[in-house]
Structure 1
């Protein structure tokens, strides 16, 4: 779960009742849109901010497994399906327009928690914000990023899209700490950051955290380093492949909302494939951009992750974080020309061999 700054946690509008309210409402929608993907909810008491849900055992946080070098069977498939089904079924590709608009109204009240994302993700990494901190030795890379006006312009363009696109109900904080796994089962947890936003946001956040696990591995692995890093890239490939395939399937079978009405295409004997391709391309470009930004904020902003933070020797940690930061920059600047997940994984392999510091 994302760390909450004291200034925000003391905000009376961010009391546990409000957080529990939104977490519950995201969970029940995710459960309906992708059955079995989240813990079962048994009871909700809004007044007491009480959610009674399934106890996940022997599940372990995915990030812990990735640091330990453990593999999760079907991980890419499970999270690829989750991202596709919640994105498609939470949008006006599928929902009745009035229902979706009412839902946007409901979640528009979740202001304070997503505001953390707006500050920590899109703004703070790119200047000397009060709550920032980063590993000793990274200053040259940090300067490169903060001096890159073109990249910062792209970040703000992605922020503008984030603030304007109410395409679907997003988990809002989908990372390797927001999934609990056994050796062959994965459940998604902690969606209190839920908001209506871009189709590609959750997928981008997830892939960024896969990549940070990938770049951190030299500090965690021994002889099996190369094999485990390739397994992480295989998970990225499978997540993206399954996302696209499931989104296409839902497009063909559940496109009942107001967008891309069949009356304009299939009912006239016309294919909607080109329109679908355009939608998926837009999602992919957004996904890559948000991925790059997440790779920055997890190293430079307030809320770091354990993949890097658990590396005690800063002389080991800093060069690995530097590779991560520079690939994030690459993704933001070149997202329009990265064709597919194979090209994304090749980029990761390239940066994994670079000596940045």
Structure 2
């Protein structure tokens, strides 16, 4: 259902409850409670619950600025519509892996969706030592199905180009361009890191070959409209349990290179692997391996069964496509590792390490791994080779 209103106004607990009541989602006369649970940088998130039955829903509202900075960093409200439409589009292919969308409102920039509070944000669970046995298989399938089905390999070119226009997302893409591909490689004011990392960071800024490869990856991100991406697929954008996985927050969705989503997810697993030890570390390493294994096998099956590309049966073409996706993914993963360590937006996997000497040492390892993945990506033919590189750096 799509609702309309006159002008934008930030929701409150009271107005969020009134909105929930208007949707007839709850029983007549239900005593509803509201809690603002958003911990991200860009949005309000209200959890509306019937205290008696426990039934709930989520109302997510985009803010016209970035919470992490304030009103001095204005943002388009269109991202709320993009996010809702991306959830719906991806839900056509993997309905079991995304939350259901109940209602949207473009003017108020909100989306009403399924309550996933019975699950845990994967980043938090991984940090606390959870294994999430289905995580990599589910995300590998999510990546393969959403990316293949929204690409030229599966769509008539008219439909694919229509979707590319619908999901034009220049403002949020500019955030990605700057924070992942540009600022960490230069002495930019948005960068944020401990003084103990200064020497390692300056080595990145002065590494010409590394910066050349980063520039190539940025060019791919800017110019290759291959498929509808999630655009920000990290472990904080995934709810999980032992038996269930749900991908959330595709407000950065746009048409870009297939390897980008794959690379971001792998990078966040790699960062987690660096901080773990023993069996817990091995569990994350297995997730890294299995993500690519499931993605490539599922993508290959879709290629054979549903591909419409005229050259799909040409010997070697599928392998060429998968090789390019893999190399792109590894390079993008390297950029993500560097930016999560010294850029504006960090991750708790690293910043949450309380002992300073250990935290700095692990951050240096993450930076070294990121650099190696970017520069050596064409010399890493398999996911096993990538894992070996990660092990070498640690």
Q: Is the 8 A contact 1:213 1:307 kept in 2?
A: yes
Query: Contact (CA 8 Å) 2:102, 2:114: kept in 1 or not?
Result: yes
Contact 1:297 1:303 in 2 (8 A): yes
Q: Determine the structure 2 residue equivalent to 1:319.
A: 361
What is the aligned partner in structure 2 of residue 103 from structure 1? 163
Asked whether the 8 Å contact 2:86–2:253 carries over to 1, the reply is: yes
Measured against aligned partners, the alpha-carbon deviations of 1:119-176 in whole angstroms (never above 9, x if no partner) come to 0011110111112111231122112211110010000011011111000011000001
Contact 1:73 1:185 in 2 (8 A): no
- Structure 1 stretch 169-178 or stretch 95-104: which is displaced more? 95-104
SS in 1 for 2:255: strand
In the alignment, structure 1 residue 332 sits paired with structure 2 residue 374: yes
Aligned with residue 296 of structure 2, among 222, 229, 244: 244
C-alpha contact 1:2 1:303 (8 A) present in aligned 2: no
One of 328, 339, 358 as aligned partner of 1:297: 339
Name the counterpart of 2:278: 226
Q: Which moved more, 1:48-57 or 1:61-70?
A: 48-57
Task: Please state if 1:190 is matched with 2:249.
Answer: yes
Give 1:9 deviation, angstroms: 5.4
| Residue 72 of structure 1: aligned partner | 132
Residue 230 of structure 2 contacts residue 250 of structure 2 at CA under 8 Å; is this kept in 1? yes
Which sections of structure 1, spanning at least 5 residues, go unmatched?
Answer: 218-224, 266-270, 353-357
What's the TM-score once normalised by structure 1's chain length?
A: 0.89
Larger helix share, 1 or 2? 1
Residue matched to 2:16: none
Contact 1:2–1:173 (8 Å) recurs in 2: no
By how many angstroms is 1:10 displaced?
Answer: 4.2
Which stretches of structure 1, 4 residues or longer, exceed 6 Å deviation after superposition? 5-8
Closer/same/farther in 2, CA of residues 116 and 169 from structure 1, 3 Å limit: same
Counterparts in 2 of 1:36 and 1:351: CA distance versus 1, 3 Å: same
User: How many Å separate the matches in 2 of 1:91 and 1:302?
Assistant: 31
Query: Over aligned residues, Cα RMSD in angstroms?
Result: 1.6
1-structure distance, mates of 2:251, 2:229:
10
Structure 2 unaligned spans of 5+: 1-39, 43-65
Bigger relative contact order, structure 1 or 2 (CA pairs below 8 A, ≥6 apart)? 1
Q: Does 1:308 align with 2:350?
A: yes
Q: Give, in whole Å, the separation in 1 of the partners of 2:306 and 2:320.
A: 18
After TM superposition, the score normalised by the length of structure 2 is 0.81
Whose radius of gyration is greater, 1 or 2?
2
Q: Does structure 2 retain, via aligned residues, the 8 Å contact 1:93–1:255? A: yes
Aligned residues: 332
User: Could you say which residue in structure 2 is the equivalent of 1:139?
Assistant: 198
Task: Quote the residue 2:119 is aligned against.
Answer: 59
